[in-house]
Structure 1
Amino acid sequence: MRSPRWASVLSSTLALTGVASLAACTSDDATDSAFVGSDGVFPVTMQHKFGSTTIESRPNRVVTVGFNDLDFALALGETPVATRAFTGYDYKQRPWAQGYPTDIPEVGGMELDVEKVAAANPDVLLGTYAVFTKNDYDTLSGLAPTVGDVLGTADGGTASWEDQLDAIGKALGKQGEAEKVRDRVRTAFDAATAANSQFAGRTAAVAMVLDNGFYILEPEDPRAAFFTTLGFTAPTETGTVSPERLDLLDQPTLIVLGATKEKLAADPVFSQLAVVKEDRTVYLGEFGTDATAAIGFASPLSQPYLLDVATPALSAATDDDPATVVPAIG
């Protein structure tokens, strides 16, 4: 299942406004591989949640309609002519994308404005993590070839950032660039794990703060996958954690999204957990701040940034020395 990803609440269906559904340009024909084509050679056909889409020629007018597709396009040297805004965060000032264009026209945020999408005159629409409904997808694919939510190549479930990078690289005819970007990010992860062998096999609960408790992210969630890539393992029980079951957070390491240490200290049950008292907890901060947004983007641009800001805290929280103070993030 997809757990909430963008801030504390994300509807599983995002409304598209302003245009009636149009005919889809997809096919139900499946292929053994999700992609057909080679670097820079078109047409290219790819599979996604809603079937397959063929892009006949290299697109010149790219519009990103997924929540984090903008970062992937920028990482590959492509500046979209329009993009979906990342809501709940001043994404134009995100520190991991300094030097990239910030004046890209927007076509909506939590809800897409299809009239604006159409006005951008797109050659292709990239929505590799957009949480579309079938009606949403049909509407957009009537405007231009649309790459919908891609499926994970490992199990057909939630796509990893590498799955997204692969899809977008092929849609743009930039597979070679995508491989180079992937290698750079993997090298950054390898350096962090090499310097912190204690991460390997250590259980870490990645918990998001909700109004009525916590939510422990499943290992396939892109935010939790950041930590499993570093070598951590997810706890056996994931999902919603009620106030009566905060003991589920009491793992060798706890990583908290959506609240500060100071705010949670006011909770008498939470503050008495061993993982909290022994300072084995890392707080990524409130929603809408740089670190929590970076993990939400889960992109080739945001992840190296997050490694830089979070690894020192993770290192301190996993040395099993109660005297070590875990540094604040942000």
Structure 2
Amino acid sequence: MKNPRLTRLAIVLTALGVAASCSTDDGSGTEQVDDAGFPVTIEHQYGATTIESRPEAVVSVGFNDQDFMLALGRTPIGTRAFSGYDYQNRPWAREQLGGQTIPEVGEMTINVEQVAALGPDLVLGTYSVMGDAVYDTLAALAPTVGDLPTEDVEAGAWQSQLEAIGQALGESDRAQEVRQEVEGAFTAAREANPQFEGRTLAVALYLGDSFYILEAEDPRTSFFTSLGFAMPEEAGDVSAERLDLLDQQNLAVLGATREQLAADPLFSNLAVVREDRTVYLGEFGTDVPAALGFASPLSLPFALDETVPSLAQATDDDPATVVAPVGAP
């Protein structure tokens, strides 16, 4: 069974009346919070939340919201654990975390009591799948931004999250800068590898005894389409009798190494495998699959650095090229 945290949650933002805020000093040596741009209203799946002033004690209950806060220079006072991965030591957030451990407020489910104990003035859960009942409970504690609307997913999941969280924190200007930096990294990778454009690539999960081709809207698939790749027409479960669905111009496998899949004769006989047009992204619980799952402004540049060299080798149309393991120096 797939981890529900790694499945698609399409998100988009509608926000009203916002501008960036900043801090000032009143001359006494005490920092004064500038609430310019507030109040701000953010719409989400459970209604609309108005944030009256710049929040200072923010609890992140989303599966990846913590990364967005860190990218904007803010650290949550509590966060949700990322199951199945040593997320506290994730390499793409090492600098921002500076060795600190943030208190946890749940893992697969949100621990409302732990959230309450931290006394937040804002709860962020833009990708949390919290549900109406949990939202109502959290909203009684503090202004709460729930899962963002599901329409217009093509507008960009991480971009919408970044915009919403930037507005909620009073960091809209920085959010725009971060967006430009990340999108610029994707543009640079595409320009350096024009052969990516239009090539059909299946992004497949290996689930132990079967494969699953991710839908085009899944954030992990969006990573590859942002590099110029096209997705196959069919997605979903892949039976042993239909392994040909994996046999695209290129294949990216999440959840297994080359060595683990080499023992499967049917898989090994696929042309995309025999001709070394396959990129193995690693077992679940390792850095690259987790970075793709986080799909954040911090994890995406890390994933680019780790995967683009192998993708370049897999798309050079030279049968003699051996695709290096993802993350190889």
**TM-score, normalized by the shorter chain, greater than 0.5:** yes
Please give the alpha-carbon distance, in whole angstroms, between the structure 2 residues aligned to 1:279 and 1:156.
33
Q: Quote how far apart the aligned CAs of 1:152 are.
A: 5.4
User: Is 1:67 aligned to residue 58 of structure 2?
Assistant: no
Q: Quote how far apart the aligned CAs of 1:72 are.
A: 0.3
Please give the alpha-carbon distance, in whole angstroms, between the structure 1 residues aligned to 2:313 and 2:156.
30
Q: Which residue of 2 aligns with 1:305?
A: 302
Q: Which residue of 1 aligns with 2:227?
A: 230
Alignment of 1:3-152 (within 5 A): 6=5, 33-40=14-21, 41-101=37-97, 102-151=100-149
Q: Quote how far apart the aligned CAs of 1:50 are.
A: 1.5
Which ranges of structure 1 fall in alignment gaps of 5 or more residues? 13-31
Please give the alpha-carbon distance, in whole angstroms, between the structure 1 residues aligned to 2:134 and 2:52.
22
Structure 1 outlier segments of 4+, above 6 Å? none
Which ranges of structure 2 fall in alignment gaps of 5 or more residues? 22-36
Of Structure 1 and Structure 2, which has the larger fraction of its residues in helix? 2
Cα deviations by residue, 1:137-181 (Å, 9 ceiling, x for unpaired): 22222221111111356x257961101100100000110000000
Identity %: 60
Please give the alpha-carbon distance, in whole angstroms, between the structure 2 residues aligned to 1:60 and 1:276.
51
CA contact (8 A) 2:8 2:217 kept: no
User: Is 1:201 aligned to residue 198 of structure 2?
Assistant: yes
User: Is 1:244 aligned to residue 241 of structure 2?
Assistant: yes
Q: Quote how far apart the aligned CAs of 1:5 are.
A: 5.5
Q: Which residue of 1 aligns with 2:32?
A: none
Report the 3-state secondary structure (helix = DSSP H, G, I; strand = E; otherwise coil) of the residue aligned with 1:38.
coil
CA contact (8 A) 1:151 1:157 kept: no
Cα gap change, 1:291 to 1:33, in 2 (>3 Å) = closer
Q: Quote how far apart the aligned CAs of 1:37 are.
A: 2.0
Cα deviations by residue, 1:193-224 (Å, 9 ceiling, x for unpaired): 00000011111101111244111111111111
User: How large is the RMSD of aligned CA atoms in angstroms?
Assistant: 2.0
User: Is 1:161 aligned to residue 142 of structure 2?
Assistant: no
Please give the alpha-carbon distance, in whole angstroms, between the structure 2 residues aligned to 1:289 and 1:252.
26
Cα gap change, 1:292 to 1:277, in 2 (>3 Å) = same
TM-score when normalising by structure 1? 0.88
Please give the alpha-carbon distance, in whole angstroms, between the structure 2 residues aligned to 1:303 and 1:263.
26
CA contact (8 A) 1:217 1:224 kept: yes
Q: Which residue of 2 aligns with 1:214?
A: 211
Q: Quote how far apart the aligned CAs of 1:69 are.
A: 0.5
